[in-house]
Amino acid sequence: MVGPPGSGKTMLARRIPTILPEMTLEEALQTTKIHSIMGMTSGKHSLITTRAFRAPHHTISDSGLIGGGTYPRPGEVSLAHNGVLFLDELAEFNRHVLEVMRQPLEDGEVTISRASGSVKFPSRFMLIAATNPCPCGHANDPRRQCSCSTMQIQKYMSKISGPLLDRIDIHLEVAPVEYRDLSNKKGGESSASIRERVVRARAVQEQRFVKHKIFCNAQMSSAAIKKYCELSSESQSILNTAMEKLGLSARAYHRILKVARTIADLEGTELIKTPHILEAIQYRSLDRAYTH
């Protein structure tokens, strides 16, 4: 999420665990094992049954994020296993720290090697990141004048590399909240209502992949994408045009299809339709805005 201060990025991130399905017993056991290594469980009822929400500070080291030490210990990416890893002020993180996260993000596990051997920790988490659009935070903010030069903005956003951005499925530009909306008493859709839709979509995906040993669209292999993400000729033509105009990679192509498949599942439709592809494509807008 990219947007000025006060646009609700952090609040949105903290609401994500409330719309995710409850953990299965297997997920709870995995999460508890990882946290127990760090001494983060205690008492009789030490089984962790709520999804983790980890939000490390932008000054964290690579070993703090990925894991390490003389006696290997899990880092934040493993402590967020089966949950959410929230990186606020993404552009403020050390670029090297962000780069070492790429492989765990892709593989769903971390391998820490030492002279005495190697240890593997699981790291299948949902990454959510937020950043200001520039050093002063007010680029594209209709309420405030941005004081940054074009070069300063480019330098600021260049900390987020193209390969890392490639691995983030959904890019959102978040607009500032209008003052009159803050006092609006009309409520939006509740987390409980959204969770019901997510649970239904996840149930469809679990049934779809029952023979593949995966449980959601994000885990689809290239072969599974080809099988379950068939497009009409119109949708395929639109996607091909977007790939050329935005200069997207093969990885981004597959991620667009996964997102479109998920949008269709949330709407309860078996086929991926043209509006689903169009919506998934618009979530790649930052590829063009910040890497070209």
List, for residues 99-133, the tens digit of each pLDDT value.
999 999 999 999 998 888 899 999 999 999 999 99
Instruction: Look at residue 2 and tell me if it is in a domain.
Output: no
Q: Please, are residues 128 and 20 in contact by the beta-carbon 8 Å criterion?
A: no
94, 153: one domain: yes
Number of folded domains that form the chain? 2
Instruction: Look at residue 126 and tell me if it is in a domain.
Output: yes
| Residue 288's pLDDT band (cuts 50, 70, 90) | low
| Residue 186's pLDDT band (cuts 50, 70, 90) | confident
What kind and span of H or E run contains 113?
strand 109-114
Instruction: Look at residue 1 and tell me if it is in a domain.
Output: no
Token pair for 6: 């006060």
Instruction: Look at residue 252 and tell me if it is in a domain.
Output: yes
Q: Please, are residues 285 and 140 in contact by the beta-carbon 8 Å criterion?
A: no
131, 105: one domain: yes
What kind and span of H or E run contains 156?
helix 150-157
Residues in the chain, overall count: 292
At residue 169, what is the residue type?
Answer: D
Question: Which domain covers residue 109, as residue numbers?
Answer: 9-41+48-178
pLDDT of 291 over the 60 cut: no
Q: Report the alpha-carbon distance of residue 242 to residue 260 in Å, rounded.
A: 14
Strands 109-114, 117-122: parallel, antiparallel or unpaired by DSSP? antiparallel
Q: What is the DSSP string of 215-233?
A: -SGGG--HHHHHHH----H
Domain end point (choices 143, 178, 213): 178
Average pLDDT, stretch 137-148?
A: 88
Q: Which pLDDT value is given to residue 292?
A: 45
User: Residue 133 — φ and ψ, nearest 5°?
Assistant: -80, -10
